[in-house]
Structure 1
């Protein structure tokens, strides 16, 4: 993000907002007011396409995904060579590692306020792999040779083609310098493509001029995607075409990302074309198109089609059309240190006026810097209009430190440009429009995206004729002028041009920001036009629409000889406004009072040397704490902070994020500012005494005596407190269950038969006693008889027998016995000969594996019915019964408590999470280590919806639907009637438990029902804290246990 658009966590561009934060701990509620007026810490991030490859290895480093108000990107490559220095600066940078080895590349990002952050990435430049070979070709060679030495070289490219399948990956094919090799037509190198990282290299050996490959086209010809080739040190008389395989019938149709990875290095050729590929680079390439067509072109065909495309020290000239034409766009494209000239100016030969550089389609992160663009039809066109759908844009563009001169027509046409910066450019001797900013185009599809956030800073624009320097919008309908917004024009020198300075054709110019420019030269007539309003320069400077600009001679050293640096007398010196441009045209550092134009004046005496060391502060400071602390280090000026943990350590780690201190530690730190002033090492001691969390285990209940039973409970953590101690006595009912045994029925006499039944358990109660008499009839034809001959048998039999059962370690209990019939769904059944118990469910029997699962599902032993084997066998076997959702589990040798959910276990990070979710310590089941290990760990248990949390930074979050939603401003926090003392302080690690939800910017961004439910008893202490503390925040602590009563 540019320096002109500053975003704070709380507040606006003009002021910092106040955030009040109250930190809570489990021991007590302490109200600590902290008001932070600060930017969010920047974050550094590096992305590359590949982290390894054969040396020499060229890598394009991308810092675009770094976050913060970043104005400076500084790189250290741990390596340098004649073309690539040890360090570099920029959002996209390239570097070549010539020698095999491992290199740690470091990125430091700086915000405008001096805050910084660092990160690094490891790059591996690889040696030629085992099994790879080197083959030699010379014009006097012989294809019957083995090609493995200069004296046994091959002769023809046809030999390479015939042997391609036998050439190992990572091999080199070297052509003798000074020799010419005739292909006799197109050279298809498809068979030489290999997978990453072991690409084949086509190169040169010996001394003299580059070997000449005489072919109209060197082409990959439909090679399968994700393969590569390295081409170095050759003179190719025709074109190089990098074309991956096109899928015309399979899904998806077209080229497939990442296409082909091809490196051209030290190459002369006529034309270069590439289709939809990632990781293509051109270094030290000379391309003389000889008025043939497009010089260097790509066809991306869709969003992201060309990515990590790098041009360095490339010269393209005499193209009949564009020098560079990137069709369809791409992502992460860097064009630097190159020349593009004499292209698109051959109308007499049937050509049209064309650009030095053209980008059409959709592009993101495009940087054009340190180039010369001259003698073309136009300088560059960044114009999205290409494909019909979807709507297109060119986003995150940087055009800097370029020389742009002597075009035939306009300098730039800019359309659907977003977040673009044009800075430190020298633009001179061009006719027509310099900056043409237009609304989106419509092809046959939707309207392309808007043009917005275009920043034009620190350019020197001189000697251009018949031009409009800044042209905004169009008079030709449809123009979509209303879709052009936020244009910033600051710190520019506009000198000795003819024509007008600014013409804004929109109906409103309220989002045009102009200031701190210098206007000089023939400035007759109306130089500024806003819609229908006309202004001379003098009228413009007093209109209030252009702050701190002036009409004055900028005292350039020698514009006639194109030296646009500043004389010591220049009014541009120290009169610019800070816009986050850290360096000038020659990479000189800009201070807080920058000079206007592309150059800083370096001969004016610098301000007094800074000899004062920075001062670093740790927040929170030294002290005793009951929980982990997230310690933020900040310096009073731009500085790099180093730190370490330990009494004898040396602070060498660069500070970038708050430091989490979870045990007693000594923090040592110091800072070094940009003037190399070093602070004396400071020491801060943090004493962390973790809160003791009670961990109670209880013995079994005693027998029920006089309607009471008791047990003993022990705190395994010996906290010395009894806040969560389980009950140790309770009322009870005698649990003696009769076990009735009955004798056989007597003979039927007088229509009655009897028996005796005895309670084998001697409970002394008759509840449930089987009947001891029943009516009967004597079978016909029977005149008597005794019990042994079958006479007097009753018409029906109802036998109930109680059987003792057990499951795992359970004690004996009473069951019912059924010998016939069918049990209902939901019944608990077993057979007498086995302790296994089953739950009947949907005509299936589900085995209950353990006593804990039995009890966790709410069953009791007297619900079990004993059935016979035939009854049990009629049910199909179903899945074993498991714990119900949210069952609490632990093992005996650990204090960790888990929540069972979907066959996995979720851990409680600390006791606050347990209590805030309204769980009870006496509902925890202790299981074996093997059982707990059978449930994979999943996400941590989180705080319930409605909880307010805060990490080490100033941001406060509201938990909703399991996500943390940032509360954007203090006014929103207050407007929701939230209370600061209900915020729970968490570590930055705990913040990772929650996915990041949308920010709460307005009062209606959060459900009123959620806010209204937070404090059900209206005592200002939210429900989740009452579950933790079990008390009112306003009560006193009369027993001195650290908790309100």
Structure 2
């Protein structure tokens, strides 16, 4: 007799083994307009299970999609192109968050390298339509990546999620020419097991451009929009159209995106670039770059607005954090909030050179309805604000109208007009307004049309604050660098207990914090004119220029994939003491795919050092057939790599630490699809992984925490 316990585990193992075997990769190739000239058309009569026998159409994919198994892959040929490419109803109850169905690309034998182009330009038709018909039924587990989705100017939505479709990851997509780039909407009436939300959507490392209504619209719990580029979305209408419009969801993250040209009408941006309406708990808006061109803005081209949208139901955000964002030349308002109790607005850099009235930080920006959340205990701290061509109605920081327990500390403002501070509540409604600094040029006032001394005497505010020149490094175009120079009075002058714990660059503030977004470690021996980077073939090229140097030993170049954990990747010798411009370049080899962050650590001959502002470079892999490790950073050391090869083969895997020492090596078979690597034996740290193929080596960076 077979023991029952043995039989149970044997049966369980058989189930998992069978499930693993069921995962299949399907290949699709069509050669519509825009395809590689060497493209070879597939055939829907093929079995589709080999790159040599691909299907042709997305109609075929739609017809079989409901029968796919968890873990199956549908791969489109690089260099291929599809017209009328709609995947009409994408839902599958076999898929799961842990074992999703994946849409991706593959490298065909005829040599295509460009992202597959899927075009859907028919009016009222979506491309990826994650919708089940009728009442909402819960489904989950989809990945769409490495594709070029085009709407031709008339297509409806590139990606639509509706009726409780959860765990959709959209990664490394180029989306253009639709009404809405990504629309994450609601649901019909609910069947059992459905909650009506499209939760855990991730929009990562993608480009969304030229969508006439919205770049992104909608929301859901655990929504994440990160490392994306938005440009020229919303041009069909002013005011109501945006690059990003989030309308619902708790625990939402909008981080490290670039937003440009929002709702451009007659050549001028005329819509808020990033809008959040609705009812939310826990919202993080961090590290975004929101900008417009000088003089090319209308009256509605605000930067970031988190406020009620007049839905007729209760609205507001609890747990709001807006930090580390750079806003340049938006119009009328930089950051605006309403109905956001306990909000924290910190370490933002706001630069305005457009003529007119401007509110750098405004709360509240509108009257709320009675059922919207009241706003109390708002903290505005360690922001750096530079305003030029300001008129008499300009207010750098305005916080009032309702609530108590408000804090406005450690902010630095330089303005040539208007008032720096507007606090229209009774003094007792503010917990602290102090340790700020302001440079008042021309007819500018500290607050209420008063000088600092008169303001302090009449209000009792800003008793430890400073009026004077903050000595920004290079505040105007093109550098926009509000890092304080060495003798700046902002250094060690911030609020001793209420300042932010870290600065704009992610550096820990030690001792007494500086006023403003940046934390200086001492006297800067250099004047940095600019620091920039760009992709150059397979590398990233960094360039910077100093106007003068004093006692400058040199620079260490540091890199990060998340703007929080930086590692040294090289160094360059300085020029000691020099009073002329010096140009520096550094070539970053083997950069990670996606957005990389760089900063300079400047070191003098006494060993003192300071950091430059952080810059970002969006690096796109040229061959594109090998993905990046994920999750990265990894806590367990076990990571996954997506691979779409011409030939499956064994490779050598070599792992080096940051000193260049080989710490791990093995031989591993690389199959098409998801490949798993176990680096759990490695200690926490930064590593470079070399994947040795027959004809070339591929490098990937890895962080183990």
Q: TM class by shorter-chain length? A: 0.5 to 0.7
| Matched residue SS, 2:404 | strand
Instruction: Give yes or no for the alignment of 1:468 onto 2:382.
Output: no
1:442, distance to aligned residue in structure 2 (A): 4.9
**Alpha-carbon RMSD:** 2.7
Q: 2:141 aligns with which of 228, 232, 237?
A: 228
What per-residue deviation string (whole Å, max 9, x for no partner) do you get for residues 741-762 of structure 1? xxxxxxxxxxxxxxxxxxxxxx
- Alignment of 1:584 with 2:500, yes or no, is no
Q: What CA deviation, in whole Å up to 9, does each residue of 1:196-241 have, x standing for no partner?
A: 3222101001151100111142211336323231101000113333
The aligned counterpart of 1:149 is 50
Q: Secondary structure at the match of 2:64?
A: helix
In the TM superposition, what is the alpha-carbon distance from 1:397 to its structure 2 partner?
1.0
Task: Give the match for residue 563 of structure 1.
Answer: 481
Following superposition of structure 1 onto structure 2, how do residues 327-406 of structure 1 map, counting pairs within 5 Å? 327=247, 329-346=248-265, 348=266, 353-375=270-292, 377-389=301-313, 391-406=314-329
Does residue 540 in structure 1 map to residue 455 in structure 2?
yes
Match of 1:609 in 2: none
Q: Give 1 or 2: higher strand fraction.
A: 2
C-alpha offsets along residues 584-618 of structure 1, whole Å, 9 cap, x if unaligned? 11122211211111111134499xxxxxxxxxxxx
Measure, in 2, the Cα distance between the counterparts of 1:592 and 1:416.
Answer: 34
- Of 254, 264, 281, which aligns to 2:202? 281
Structure 2 counterpart of 1:261, from 149, 160, 167: 167
In the alignment, structure 2 segments of 5+ residues that lack a partner are 1-16, 31-40, 152-156, 186-196, 235-240, 526-705
464, 467, 470: which one aligns with 1:551: 467
The CA distance in 2 between the partners of 1:173 and 1:192, in whole Å, is 16
Cα distance in structure 1, aligned partners of 2:250 and 2:442: 41
**Alpha carbons 2:57, 2:85 under 8 Å: kept:** no
Structural mapping, 1:776-925, within 5 Å = none
Change (3 A) 1:457 1:235: same
User: How far does residue 184 in structure 1 lie from its aligned partner after superposition?
Assistant: 5.4
**Residue correspondence of structure 1 range 97-136 to structure 2 within 5 A:** 129-136=20-27
Q: Which residue of 1 aligns with 2:375?
A: 451
CA distance in 1, matches of 2:350, 2:233: 22
Partner of 1:54: none
Alignment of 1:85-96 (within 5 A): none
SS at match of 1:538: helix
Specify which of 241, 263, 272 is matched with residue 182 of structure 2: 272
- Once residues 425 and 352 of structure 1 are traced to their aligned partners in structure 2, the CA distance between those partners, rounded to angstroms, is 22
Are 2:416 and 2:443, in contact at CA under 8 Å, matched by a contact in 1?
no
Find the aligned partners of 1:495 and 1:293 in 2 and give their Cα distance: 36
| Distance in 2 (alpha carbons) for counterparts of 1:593 and 1:138 | 61
CA contact (8 A) 2:323 2:345 kept: yes
Cα 1:541/1:441, change in 2 over 3 Å = closer
Query: What is the SS of the residue equivalent to 1:163?
Result: helix
Cα distance in 2, alignment partners of residues 580 and 563 from structure 1: 21
Retained in 2: the 8 A contact 1:524–1:536?
Answer: no
SS at match of 2:214: coil
Structure-2 separation of matches of 1:584 and 1:525: 27
Change (3 A) 1:274 1:491: same
The residue matched to 1:378 in structure 2 has which SS?
coil
Q: Which has the larger radius of gyration?
A: 1
Structure-to-structure mapping, 1:264-663, within 5 angstroms: 264-270=170-176, 271-275=181-185, 276-290=197-211, 292-298=212-218, 306-320=220-234, 321-327=241-247, 329-346=248-265, 348=266, 353-375=270-292, 377-389=301-313, 391-429=314-352, 431-438=357-364, 441-443=367-369, 446-464=370-388, 465-466=390-391, 467-473=394-400, 481=401, 483-506=402-425, 510-511=429-430, 513-522=432-441, 524=443, 526-529=445-448, 535-543=450-458, 544-560=460-476, 561-577=479-495, 578-579=497-498, 581-604=500-523
Query: How far does residue 127 in structure 1 lie from its aligned partner after superposition?
Result: 14
Asked if 2 retains the 8 angstrom alpha-carbon contact of 1:383 and 1:413, the reply is yes
TM-score by length of 2: 0.59
Partner SS for 2:63: helix
Give the Cα separation in 2 of the matches to 1:157 and 1:345.
34
Unaligned runs of 5+ in 1: 1-125, 246-255, 301-305, 474-480, 607-1045
Q: State the Cα deviation string for residues 828-859 of structure 1 (Å, max 9, x = none).
A: xxxxxxxxxxxxxxxxxxxxxxxxxxxxxxxx
1:188 is displaced (CA, Å) by: 3.1
Counterpart residue number, 2:668: none
Aligned residue-pair number: 444
TM-score by length of 1: 0.41
2:78 aligns with: 177
Q: Which residue of 2 aligns with 1:160?
A: 61
Q: Secondary structure of the residue that 1:160 maps to in structure 2? A: helix
| Distance change >3 Å, CA 222–CA 209, structure 1 → 2 | same
List per-residue Cα deviations over 1:30-71 (Å, max 9, x = no partner). Answer: xxxxxxxxxxxxxxxxxxxxxxxxxxxxxxxxxxxxxxxxxx
Q: Is the 8 A contact 1:344 1:354 kept in 2?
A: yes
Q: Following TM superposition, by how much is the alpha carbon of 1:359 offset from its aligned partner in structure 2, in angstroms?
A: 0.7
Q: 1:553 to 1:184 in 2, by over 3 A?
A: closer
Structure 1 residues 581 and 352: alpha-carbon distance in aligned structure 2, compared to 1, 3 A threshold: closer
Q: How far does residue 135 in structure 1 lie from its aligned partner after superposition?
A: 0.7
What are the superposed Cα offsets for residues 634-662 of structure 1, whole Å, 9 maximum, x if unpaired? xxxxxxxxxxxxxxxxxxxxxxxxxxxxx
Post-superposition offset of 1:371: 0.9
What's the CA shift for 1:526?
A: 4.7
Do the aligned residues in 1 keep the contact of 2:28 with 2:48 (CA within 8 Å)? Answer: yes
Aligned to 2:4: none
User: Is residue 419–residue 445 contact of structure 2 (8 Å, CA) maintained in 1?
Assistant: yes
The CA deviation at 1:507 is 5.4
CA distance, structure 2, for counterparts of residue 441 and residue 408 of structure 1: 20
Question: Is residue 193–residue 229 contact of structure 1 (8 Å, CA) maintained in 2?
Answer: no
For residues 240-259 of structure 1, what are the structure 2 equivalents within 5 Å?
240-245=158-163, 259=165
